[in-house]
A and B are shown apart, each in its own frame.
Chain A
């Protein structure tokens, strides 16, 4: 019996054990990752011999079907990724300062979820970082935004750019709410 606990390496791209990468739809990337990180394993899994052996166990028909399926899966994964990237490039984070009561303000942050962030957690982080109330509120038009108490628009801008490297600085926008209530 082998020694326990057994150490299993997981693929850095698709998180599966490398031997299952071929079923994941991101085979190319997984292979490259494995080559860079675990060359010995790569040699074992992607050698000509191994591939041939894999193919020989299936009937021709099943092979074709499997191939078609995996191609479809790969295409799906690729489009999904492209879409996510596009969304990332186009979507904007909007930081808005809203006057609540004469000299009192709240700051609303919209659009963080497009960057794959969990806004609930980010809201908590904001609250911790700035020591103020911070919550996720529903926007009338649908969707959610983070509302932070106090005028923190500049600080949040800095923090967001600093903390979440996925978000390009140009995509973060700071606006001051224009529709001030009439004086009084």
Chain B
């Protein structure tokens, strides 16, 4: 979505009622974030809405980006938010070989997740269940981590259910929404 460098459009304040709406939507979508909601979006603080090209809206708190949204699609968290609260999102892991493709903005392919270095939920290689037990449906927002790395490198929407991925091991797995080093990452919000 943000392969090219982008420049921010107009910035406007979010009405407090809309702000409540966003808040409840976030909690709905990412229930694990709830205990930290007051830190992420303090009730009294004023959120800003920054318009980005291609009808993408970015919600920010002063100059920290929080969530972005394409039209009425689900809210996607900004990577800097994910880095602060990594385990509050459904996560998958890719193997080392796939990192460089992801960081250049490619659509994530299933083999990157099914190979030895990758992790899917309910994975036999995943001893302590760190990546969850439940299979994810297509359309779920997932955070992509990388083998041997601490921080996440991408966030996107699943194109294929994880159960199917394990069976087929082929094809597009997850659409790149926002990855490290893309236009949104480099966006200057002042």
Residues of A within 8 A of B (CB): 1-2, 4-8, 14-17, 19-20, 23-24, 53-54, 57-58, 62, 66, 69-70, 118
20 interchain pairs (CB within 8 A)?
Answer: A4-B85, A6-B83, A7-B84, A8-B80, A15-B181, A15-B186, A16-B180, A17-B150, A19-B149, A20-B103, A20-B181, A23-B100, A24-B181, A53-B148, A57-B96, A57-B117, A57-B148, A58-B96, A66-B97, A70-B100
Specify which of A4, A14, A19, A24 is in contact with B150 (CB 8 Å cutoff). A19
Q: How many chain B residues have a CB neighbour from A under 8 Å?
A: 27
Specify which of B39, B148, B150, B153 is in contact with A54 (CB 8 Å cutoff). B148
Collect the chain A residues with CB atoms within 8 Å of residue B117's CB: 57
Collect the chain B residues with CB atoms within 8 Å of residue A4's CB: 36, 39, 84-85, 88
CA distance A14 to B86 in the complex (A): 21
Collect the chain B residues with CB atoms within 8 Å of residue A24's CB: 103, 181
Tell yes or no: B46 within 8 A of A by CB: no
| Other A-B pairs beyond A4-B85, A19-B151, A20-B153, 4, CB < 8 Å | A5-B85, A7-B84, A20-B103, A69-B100
Collect the chain A residues with CB atoms within 8 Å of residue B186's CB: 15
Collect the chain B residues with CB atoms within 8 Å of residue A62's CB: 97
Chain A interface main SS type: loop
CA distance A6 to B117 in the complex (A): 25
The reply to whether B185 and A15 contact each other, CB–CB distance below 8 Å, is: yes
Residue of B nearest to A1 (CB): B87
Residue of A nearest to B88 (CB): A4
CA distance A24 to B36 in the complex (A): 32
Collect the chain A residues with CB atoms within 8 Å of residue B151's CB: 8, 17, 19-20
CA distance A7 to B83 in the complex (A): 8
Collect the chain A residues with CB atoms within 8 Å of residue B147's CB: 57
Collect the chain B residues with CB atoms within 8 Å of residue A7's CB: 84
Residue of A nearest to B148 (CB): A54
List 5 A-B pairs, minimum CB-CB distance, nearest first. A5-B84, A8-B83, A17-B151, A23-B103, A19-B149
Collect the chain A residues with CB atoms within 8 Å of residue B97's CB: 58, 62, 66
Collect the chain B residues with CB atoms within 8 Å of residue A15's CB: 181, 185-186
CA distance A62 to B96 in the complex (A): 10
Residue of A nearest to B149 (CB): A19
- Which of A2, A4, A54 is the most central at the interface, judged by chain B CB atoms within 10 Å of its CB? A4
